[in-house]
């Protein structure tokens, strides 16, 4: 059996997400398992070249993970016909220009979200890729979380009856950087550098909600900057110009109401950093990153409001775990394998740049809703199809 090489230009992998999720837990992990087994027994082996601006960081990263190739010259990498995929994990403000260049070079495109800073640019990239005849995809990792895969199983079973509402809680306390090092880079809190939790997280809620529950029809969002001053990687204080929390309500077809609280200024009192509760006429579920619990109609306790006596009900004891019933891969790795098979075998991959554009659109309308203090309807983007 033969091994087929597939060359990948990986731009921006010296950053937190690029290193941990895309390089180490995805491409390096795929290489360590011996590649991807194809029909007929051949193996598809990714061969990455790491690209960025820091020669020292690239060399160190490559040496640490057994990667032979790295470069600070993106143009030279794009000129190499042997590397057919361009992957982008740069900061958002740099992404569109690099993707345009990669499309013009005839590369297939796979990139982090958001794919652009505005909807018009996001659509332009998708249409440009179509005209060039290249394959394209966007990272939508949370669809592959074990907890959400279990939730999808519960939805598909008809367990809920008619779904009424969805409530999401996401976030954790990001240290300000003075007495403890911040867990996120400082650009996340600078609007002028593409930062802000609305830009970063609302695009996630777009694909999660639309893939699980249906088309999003409207949005109302209130953003805020709870922590006005932080300390950067050099120990210098700076003003936070971007939002660090967002309180968003989404209308979904079939009358479902979804509300998501997203915050980098909240201390966690829940089982996981992400918690999504779904309530329906016949049952409810609570899903996190890895776990999912359900409570059926017949197991719902009879709650009565009476603050004058101690609560007699242990509300958690009537919830049941949804079993794993399978093995769950790292979500980033799972989607990487699907995209590589899409390029090599033309297998279906529906999370394309148009899907990425929907996330940008929702984030942009959420920001507009905040600025105008009003509910906004979500129009269908030209050239896109509903999930």
Question: For the segment 276-300, what is each residue's pLDDT rounded down to a tens digit?
Answer: 999 999 999 999 999 999 999 999 9
Looking at residue 382, its pLDDT comes to: 75
Taking the C-alpha atoms of residue 155 and residue 160, their distance in angstroms, rounded to an integer, is: 7
Over residues 315-368, the pLDDT tens digits come to: 999 999 999 998 999 999 999 999 999 999 999 999 999 999 999 999 999 999
Taking the C-alpha atoms of residue 288 and residue 65, their distance in angstroms, rounded to an integer, is: 31
How many other β-carbons are positioned within 10 Å of the β-carbon of residue 63? 11
Q: What is the mean pLDDT of residues 111-134?
A: 96
**How would you classify the pairing of strands 274-280 and 163-171?**
antiparallel
How many Cα atoms occupy the beta-carbon half-sphere of 343 within 13 Å?
28
Buried b / exposed e over 10-36, threshold 16 CB at 10 Å, is bbbbbbebbbebbbbbbbbbbbeeebb
Q: What is the mean pLDDT of residues 251-264?
A: 97
Buried b / exposed e over 152-166, threshold 16 CB at 10 Å, is eebbeeebbeebeeb
Taking the C-alpha atoms of residue 100 and residue 197, their distance in angstroms, rounded to an integer, is: 26
Nearest to 113 by CA among 190, 17, 182, 209: 17
The single-letter DSSP state of residue 383 is T
Q: Which position has the higher pLDDT, 384 or 41?
A: 41
pLDDT category at 55 given cuts 50, 70, 90 is very high
Tell me the pLDDT of the chain averaged across its residues.
96
DSSP string covering 5-71, please?
Answer: EEEEEEETTTSHHIIIIIIIIIIIHHHHTTSEEPTTS-EEEEEEEEE-S-HHHHHHHHHHTT--EEE
pLDDT category at 40 given cuts 50, 70, 90 is confident
Residue 386 has pLDDT above 70, yes or no: no
Beta-bridged to residue 89, according to DSSP, are none
- 324 Cα distance to chain centroid: 22
pLDDT category at 21 given cuts 50, 70, 90 is very high
Could you tell me what percentage of the chain is helix, strand and coil, using 3-state DSSP and rounding each to the nearest 5? 35, 25, 40
**Sign for the pseudo-dihedral over CA of 32, 54, 137, 99:** negative
Q: What is the mean pLDDT of residues 265-280?
A: 97
For residue 30, give every residue at least 6 positions away whose Cβ sits within 8 Å of its Cβ, in sequence order, or none: 36, 46, 333, 336, 337, 340
How many other β-carbons are positioned within 10 Å of the β-carbon of residue 173? 14
Taking the C-alpha atoms of residue 14 and residue 116, their distance in angstroms, rounded to an integer, is: 20
Buried b / exposed e over 261-300, threshold 16 CB at 10 Å, is ebbbbbeeeeebebbbebbbeebbbbbbebbbbbbbeeee
Helix (H) or strand (E) holding 201: helix 197-212
Taking the C-alpha atoms of residue 384 and residue 215, their distance in angstroms, rounded to an integer, is: 12
8 A C-beta contact, residue 276 and residue 257: no
Looking at residue 387, its pLDDT comes to: 41
Looking at residue 385, its pLDDT comes to: 58
Tokens linked to 289: 């990153």
Q: What is the mean pLDDT of residues 268-274?
A: 96
Tokens linked to 172: 């954790």
Nearest to 297 by CA among 208, 164, 147, 169: 164
Could you tell me how many residues make up the chain?
Answer: 387
Taking the C-alpha atoms of residue 350 and residue 342, their distance in angstroms, rounded to an integer, is: 10
Residue 154 has pLDDT above 90, yes or no: yes
Looking at residue 16, its pLDDT comes to: 87
Looking at residue 383, its pLDDT comes to: 66
Q: What is the mean pLDDT of residues 197-225?
A: 97
Tokens linked to 269: 């009192």
Residue 6 has pLDDT above 90, yes or no: yes
């Amino acid at each position: 059996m033969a091994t087929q090489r597939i060359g990948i230009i990986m731009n921006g992998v010296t950053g937190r997400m690029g290193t941990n999720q895309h390089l180490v837990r995805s491409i390096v992990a795929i290489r360590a398992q011996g590649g991807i087994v194809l029909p007929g027994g051949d193996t598809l082996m990714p061969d990455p070249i790491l690209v960025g601006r820091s020669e020292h960081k690239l060399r160190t990263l490559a040496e640490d993970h057994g990667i032979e190739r790295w470069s600070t010259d993106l143009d030279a990498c794009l000129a190499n016909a042997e590397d057919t995929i361009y992957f982008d994990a740069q900061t958002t403000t740099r992404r569109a220009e690099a993707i345009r260049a990669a499309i013009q070079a005839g590369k297939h495109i796979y990139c982090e979200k958001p794919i652009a800073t505005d909807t018009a640019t996001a659509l332009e990239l998708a249409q440009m890729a179509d005209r060039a005849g290249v394959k394209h995809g966007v990272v939508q990792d949370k669809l592959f979380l074990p907890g959400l895969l279990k939730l999808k199983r519960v939805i598909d079973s008809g367990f809920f009856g008619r779904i009424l509402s969805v409530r999401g809680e996401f976030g954790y306390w990001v240290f300000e950087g003075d007495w403890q090092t911040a867990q996120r880079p400082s650009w996340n809190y600078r609007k002028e550098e593409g930062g802000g939790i609305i830009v970063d997280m609302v695009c996630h809620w777009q694909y999660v909600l639309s893939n699980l529950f249906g088309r999003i029809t409207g949005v109302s969002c209130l953003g805020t900057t709870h922590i006005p001053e932080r300390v950067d990687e050099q120990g210098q204080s700076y003003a936070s110009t971007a939002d660090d929390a967002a309180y968003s309500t989404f209308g979904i077809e079939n009358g479902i109401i979804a509300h998501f609280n997203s915050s980098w200024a909240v201390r966690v009192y829940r089982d996981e950093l992400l918690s999504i509760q779904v309530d329906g006429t016949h049952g409810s579920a609570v899903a996190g990153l890895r776990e999912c619990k359900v409570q059926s109609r017949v197991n719902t306790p009879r709650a009565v409001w009476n603050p004058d006596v101690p609560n007699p009900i242990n509300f958690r004891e009537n919830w049941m775990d949804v079993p794993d019933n399978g093995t769950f891969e790292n979500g980033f790795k799972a989607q990487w394998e699907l995209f590589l098979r899409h390029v090599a075998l033309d297998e279906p991959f529906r999370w394309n740049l148009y899907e990425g554009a929907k996330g940008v659109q929702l984030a942009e309308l959420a920001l507009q809703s905040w600025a105008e203090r009003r509910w906004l309807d979500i129009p269908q983007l030209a050239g896109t199809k509903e999930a």
